[in-house]
Amino acid sequence: MEQTYKILVVDDEPDLEPLILQRMRRDIRARRYEFVFAHNGVEALERLNEDEDIDMVLSDINMPQMDGLTLLSQIPDVNPNIRSVIISAYGDMKNIRTAMNRGAFDFVTKPLDFSDLRVTIERTLQHLMEWREALSSRDQLVALQNELDVASKMQQSILPTEFPSGAAYQSFGHMVPARNVGGDFFDILPLDRGRIGLAIADVSDKGVPAALFMMSSRTLLKGAAIGTESPAEALREVNSLLFDDNEASMFVTVLYAVYDPATGEFTYSSGGHDAPLIVHADGSSTLLPLTGGVVLGIVPDFPFEQHTVTVAPGDTVILYTDGVTEAMNSNRDEFGIERLQQVFASSPPGDSRDANRTVFDAVASFAGDTPQSDDVTCVTLQRREPAS
């Protein structure tokens, strides 16, 4: 039988309780979720103290007596293995960012979209399960391989499962993890004014500590993406936050871009990550210039810069990690960006999913039987041709 997860919902608005019970009734009837409710932070802490079975907290920010942000900072004292998701007003970046800094796993915005909420809850619970497994592995001092398996599942649990698209564009992302080494992740998220944010990243180490670093990178990046106006500003912020708490000298390379479907403008900033490739409709391609950044988490207050290009109708932007360019064949040759450009020259991309698959097929056919030594990750964004 599947486990029932207990979720504590904290909100001072009386409407939320009946609404959640109604909209989630199938999951409740199927004993997938059980909901308990509190109306402010103080009550929530009491609940958590009484009930050790609570897996997850879903909390509003503005509440009387104790607000959601204060609650967040106190939850770990009660139970460090609970994951929290914050409900905030859209665009309330200051609070979302504070919440992420205080360890919130994710956030949803008001008015609540229940299918989005369900996806977020599932992802959070999935992550929680991997986390618990990681803890028990550590307790049992099991083999390194097992720890890596756990880390790899944690990595999978933070990847998006739905990709934004619209009349003027479509997007797609995919990752194939390597068995032993890895630390890639990506995110594609809707921003305000119809824009979308695209991130691709590679964490420098492997194992559970690296997976945790990856998780905070992803969470902080998501917060910064929504709260800042420009990619460079987002990277400056994530860099500073990662730097503040980085004893282990870990780092992450990030390419973060904002795309505006209304204008075709694509603005990107590189934190030590490979430059984007634009593939045109005829299969020819342009490698965009780097923006002079450094990896994130190492240099305090680094002045990240950005670059803007206009994506033409029919163009496909390809973001990738070094698992693509450094994939090796049996002669120990590297795949390299030029080979990818040649592949597209002879088979121009169809849609964004097709272009994505082309990258993975090309890498796989180049590598042949040579085992994959690093995660391979690719995010594609296509500006659609206007309908004729």
Residue with tokens 């593939």: 279
Under rule CB under 8 A, residue 181 binds another protein: yes
Cα–Cα distance for residue pair 277/220, rounded to 1 Å: 25
Q: Between residues 20 and 221, which has the closer beta carbon with respect to another protein? A: 221
Q: Between residues 4 and 373, which has the closer beta carbon with respect to another protein? A: 373
Under rule CB under 8 A, residue 373 binds another protein: yes
Under rule CB under 8 A, residue 176 binds another protein: no
Q: Binding residues for another protein, how many (CB under 8 A)? A: 30
DSSP per-residue letters across 192-256:
GGG-EEEEEEEES--HHHHHHHHHHHHHHHHHHHHH-SSHHHHHHHHHHHHHHT-TT---EEEEE
- Asked whether the beta carbons of 47 and 27 are under 8 A apart, the reply is no
* 25 contacts: CB under 8 Å, gap ≥ 6: none
- Pick the closest to residue 37 from 54, 62, 61 (CA basis): 54
Cα–Cα distance for residue pair 2/259, rounded to 1 Å: 40
Cα–Cα distance for residue pair 247/72, rounded to 1 Å: 23
Under rule CB under 8 A, residue 295 binds another protein: yes
Under rule CB under 8 A, residue 175 binds another protein: no
- Asked whether the beta carbons of 326 and 311 are under 8 A apart, the reply is no
Q: Between residues 196 and 254, which has the closer beta carbon with respect to another protein? A: 254
According to DSSP, the β-strands at 316-320 and 376-383 are antiparallel
Binding-site member from 39, 102, 127, 273 for another protein (CB under 8 A)? 273
Neighbours of 169 (CB within 10 A): 21
Stretch that binds another protein, among 60-68, 186-194, 276-284, 288-296 (CB under 8 A): 288-296
179: DSSP letter: S
E strand or H helix at 108 = strand 106-110
Neighbours of 280 (CB within 10 A): 17
Q: How far is the CB of 151 from another protein (least distance, A)?
A: 13
Under rule CB under 8 A, residue 275 binds another protein: yes
Binding-site member from 250, 340, 378, 379 for another protein (CB under 8 A)? 250
Binding-site member from 38, 298, 311, 376 for another protein (CB under 8 A)? 298
Binding mask 334-363 for another protein (x = CB under 8 A): x-----------------------------
Binding-site member from 17, 34, 233, 326 for another protein (CB under 8 A)? 326
Q: How far is the CB of 375 from another protein (least distance, A)?
A: 10
Q: How far is the CB of 143 from another protein (least distance, A)?
A: 16
Q: How far is the CB of 364 from another protein (least distance, A)?
A: 20
Under rule CB under 8 A, residue 367 binds another protein: no
Q: How far is the CB of 138 from another protein (least distance, A)?
A: 19
Q: How far is the CB of 295 from another protein (least distance, A)?
A: 5
- SS3 call for 368: coil
What is the binding site for another protein (CB under 8 A)?
180-181, 183, 202-206, 249-251, 253, 270-275, 290, 292-295, 298-299, 322, 326, 334, 373-374
